[in-house]
Structure 1
Amino acid sequence: MSRTVPSPALEDSLVARHGEAQRARIHRGVAQVAALWREEDGDLAAFVTEHFVSDPARLDATLARLEQALEQLDGHLNEVSRELRRPTDLDLGPLLPVDPLLAAYDPSAHVTEDLFRAKVGFVALLNFPLTTLAERMERGPGFTRAQWAEARLTGRFSRRVPAEVKQAEARASSDADLYIAEYNLWMHHLVDAAGHRLFPKGMRLISHWNLRDELKSRYADKEGVAKQRMIVQVMERIVTQTIPAAVIDNPRVDWDPFTNTVRPAPEEEVEADAPQRPVATDGAREDDVRYAKLLAQFQAARREDPYVPVAPTAIARSFELGRELPETRVKALLEQVLTSPLVPRVARLIEQRLGRPLEPQDLWYAGFKASGSRPEAELDALTRQRYPSAEAFARDMPRMLQALGFSKEKAAFLADHIRVDPARGAGHAMQAMRRGDFPRLRTRVGPGGMDYKGYNIAVHEMGHNVEQVFSLYEVDHTLLAGVPNNAFTEALAFVFQARDLELLGQAKPDAASERERVLNDFWQTWEIAGVALVDVAVWHWMYEHPEATPAQLREAVVRISQETWDRYYAPVLGGKGTPLLGIYSHMISYPLYLADYPLGHLIAFQIEEHLQKSGHLGKEFERMASQGALTPDVWMTKATGAPVSAEPLLRATEAALTH
Structure 2
Amino acid sequence: MSIAAATLIALAMTATPKPPPALARAVDRCTAALVAKHGDAERDRAARGAAQAAAFWRPSDGDAKAFEALCVEQFRPRGSDLDQTFKRFEASFEALDGNGLEIARTLSSFAQLDVGPMQPVDGLLAAYDPSAHVVDDLFDGKIAFAALLNFPLTTLDERLRQGEAWSRREWAEARLANRFARRVPAAVNREIAKAGADADLYIADYNVYVHHLVDDQGARLFPKGKRLLSHWNLRDELKAQYADPQGLARQRAIAKVMERIVTQTIPAAVVNDPAVDWNPWTNAVRPAPADAIEAGAKPRAKVDGAREADVRYARILANFRAQRAADPYSPSVPTLIARKFELERELPEARVVAMLEEVLGAPEIKRIAALIEARLGRKLEPFDIWYPGFKPRARQSEAELDAMTRKRYPTPAAFAKDLPNVLQRLGFAPEKAAWLAERIAVDPARGSGHAMGAARRGDQAHLRTRVGPDGMDYKGFNIAVHELGHNVEQTFSLYGVDSTLLQGVPNTAFTEAIAFVFQARDLEVLGLPGPGAEEQRLRAVSDLWDAYEISGVALVDLGIWKWMYAHPQATPAQLREATLGIARDVWNRWYAPVLGARDVPLLAIYSHIVSNVLYVPDYPVGRLISAQIEDHLAALPKNATLGSEIERMTTVGAVSPDLWMKKATGAPVSATPLVRAAARALDAMPAQGATGSR
When normalised by structure 2's length, the TM-score is 0.94
The answer as to whether partners of 1:6 and 1:30 remain within 8 angstroms in 2 is no
Letter of the structure 1 residue corresponding to residue 29 of structure 2 = A
- Which residue of structure 2 lines up, in the alignment, with residue 639 of structure 1? 664
Distance 1:310 1:380 in 2: 51
SS of the residue corresponding to residue 254 of structure 2 reads helix
Q: 2:33 aligns with which of 6, 9, 13?
A: 13
Structural mapping, 1:150-229, within 5 Å? 150-229=173-252
The answer as to whether partners of 1:246 and 1:279 remain within 8 angstroms in 2 is no
Letter of the structure 2 residue corresponding to residue 44 of structure 1 = F
For the pair 1:54 / 2:73, whether they are aligned, the reply is no
For the pair 1:478 / 2:500, whether they are aligned, the reply is yes
1:289 CA drift (Å): 0.4
- Which residue of structure 1 lines up, in the alignment, with residue 4 of structure 2? none
The answer as to whether partners of 2:392 and 2:531 remain within 8 angstroms in 1 is no
* Unaligned residue ranges in structure 1 (runs of 5+): none
- Which residue of structure 2 lines up, in the alignment, with residue 411 of structure 1? 433
1:646 CA drift (Å): 0.5
Letter of the structure 2 residue corresponding to residue 146 of structure 1 = R
The answer as to whether partners of 1:421 and 1:441 remain within 8 angstroms in 2 is yes
- Which residue of structure 1 lines up, in the alignment, with residue 312 of structure 2? 290
The answer as to whether partners of 1:216 and 1:372 remain within 8 angstroms in 2 is no
- Which residue of structure 1 lines up, in the alignment, with residue 490 of structure 2? 468
1:55 CA drift (Å): 4.2
Q: Judging changes above 3 Å, is the alpha-carbon distance between structure 1 residues 142 and 377 closer, same or farther for their aligned structure 2 residues? A: same
The answer as to whether partners of 1:535 and 1:592 remain within 8 angstroms in 2 is yes
Q: Judging changes above 3 Å, is the alpha-carbon distance between structure 1 residues 569 and 279 closer, same or farther for their aligned structure 2 residues? A: farther
Distance 2:30 2:139 in 1: 21
For the pair 1:110 / 2:139, whether they are aligned, the reply is no
- Which residue of structure 1 lines up, in the alignment, with residue 44 of structure 2? 24
Letter of the structure 2 residue corresponding to residue 30 of structure 1 = A
- Which residue of structure 1 lines up, in the alignment, with residue 475 of structure 2? 453
- Which residue of structure 2 lines up, in the alignment, with residue 126 of structure 1? 149
For the pair 1:629 / 2:654, whether they are aligned, the reply is yes
- Which residue of structure 1 lines up, in the alignment, with residue 584 of structure 2? 562
Q: Deviations over 1:1-60 (max 9, x none)?
A: 963324323311211111111111111111111110112212111000111111411111
Q: 2:622 aligns with which of 574, 591, 600?
A: 600
Q: Judging changes above 3 Å, is the alpha-carbon distance between structure 1 residues 312 and 279 closer, same or farther for their aligned structure 2 residues? A: farther
Q: Deviations over 1:491-545 (max 9, x none)?
A: 0000100000111111111110000110010000000000000000000000111
Distance 2:72 2:341 in 1: 37
- Which residue of structure 2 lines up, in the alignment, with residue 334 of structure 1? 356
Structural mapping, 1:359-374, within 5 Å? 359-374=381-396
1:212 CA drift (Å): 0.3
Tell me how many residue pairs correspond in the alignment. Answer: 658
Distance 1:282 1:248 in 2: 12
Q: Judging changes above 3 Å, is the alpha-carbon distance between structure 1 residues 385 and 321 closer, same or farther for their aligned structure 2 residues? A: same
The answer as to whether partners of 2:287 and 2:299 remain within 8 angstroms in 1 is no
Structure 1 stretch displaced more, 378-387 or 265-274: 265-274
The answer as to whether partners of 2:94 and 2:500 remain within 8 angstroms in 1 is yes
Distance 1:408 1:148 in 2: 33
Distance 2:39 2:248 in 1: 77
For the pair 1:249 / 2:268, whether they are aligned, the reply is no
Runs of 4+ in 1 over 4 A off after TM superposition: 277-280
1:83 CA drift (Å): 0.6
For the pair 1:386 / 2:408, whether they are aligned, the reply is yes
- Which residue of structure 1 lines up, in the alignment, with residue 168 of structure 2? 145
The answer as to whether partners of 1:6 and 1:34 remain within 8 angstroms in 2 is no
Distance 1:385 1:627 in 2: 38
The answer as to whether partners of 1:6 and 1:31 remain within 8 angstroms in 2 is no
Distance 2:483 2:597 in 1: 33
Letter of the structure 2 residue corresponding to residue 597 of structure 1 = Y
Distance 2:345 2:197 in 1: 22
SS of the residue corresponding to residue 5 of structure 1 reads helix
1:280 CA drift (Å): 4.7
The answer as to whether partners of 1:246 and 1:280 remain within 8 angstroms in 2 is no
Q: 2:462 aligns with which of 440, 451, 456?
A: 440
Distance 2:621 2:78 in 1: 43
Letter of the structure 1 residue corresponding to residue 60 of structure 2 = E
- Which residue of structure 1 lines up, in the alignment, with residue 54 of structure 2? 34
- Which residue of structure 2 lines up, in the alignment, with residue 619 of structure 1? 644
When normalised by structure 1's length, the TM-score is 0.99
Distance 2:152 2:44 in 1: 11
Distance 1:363 1:133 in 2: 35
Q: Deviations over 1:284-318 (max 9, x none)?
A: 10101000011000010000000001110011111
The answer as to whether partners of 1:606 and 1:648 remain within 8 angstroms in 2 is yes
The answer as to whether partners of 1:253 and 1:279 remain within 8 angstroms in 2 is no
Kindly report the root-mean-square deviation, in angstroms, between the aligned alpha carbons of the 2 structures. 1.1
Distance 1:75 1:47 in 2: 28
1:198 CA drift (Å): 1.1
For the pair 1:525 / 2:525, whether they are aligned, the reply is no
* Unaligned residue ranges in structure 2 (runs of 5+): 1-16, 685-694
1:574 CA drift (Å): 2.2
SS of the residue corresponding to residue 635 of structure 2 reads helix
The answer as to whether partners of 2:359 and 2:547 remain within 8 angstroms in 1 is yes
1:207 CA drift (Å): 0.1
For the pair 1:513 / 2:535, whether they are aligned, the reply is yes
Q: Deviations over 1:600-621 (max 9, x none)?
A: 0000010111111124200000
SS of the residue corresponding to residue 24 of structure 2 reads coil
Letter of the structure 2 residue corresponding to residue 10 of structure 1 = C
Letter of the structure 2 residue corresponding to residue 654 of structure 1 = A
Distance 1:616 1:554 in 2: 48
- Which residue of structure 2 lines up, in the alignment, with residue 45 of structure 1? 68
Q: Deviations over 1:329-385 (max 9, x none)?
A: 000000001011111111111111111111111000000111123211111111111
For the pair 1:610 / 2:632, whether they are aligned, the reply is yes
Distance 1:10 1:532 in 2: 47
Distance 2:398 2:224 in 1: 15
SS of the residue corresponding to residue 202 of structure 1 reads coil
For the pair 1:648 / 2:673, whether they are aligned, the reply is yes
Q: Deviations over 1:540-576 (max 9, x none)?
A: 0001110000000011111111111111111111221
Distance 1:49 1:495 in 2: 51
Percent of aligned positions that are identical: 60
Distance 2:126 2:219 in 1: 41
Distance 1:60 1:135 in 2: 23
The answer as to whether partners of 2:213 and 2:277 remain within 8 angstroms in 1 is yes
SS of the residue corresponding to residue 185 of structure 1 reads strand
Q: 1:266 aligns with which of 268, 278, 289?
A: 289
Letter of the structure 2 residue corresponding to residue 169 of structure 1 = I
1:206 CA drift (Å): 0.2
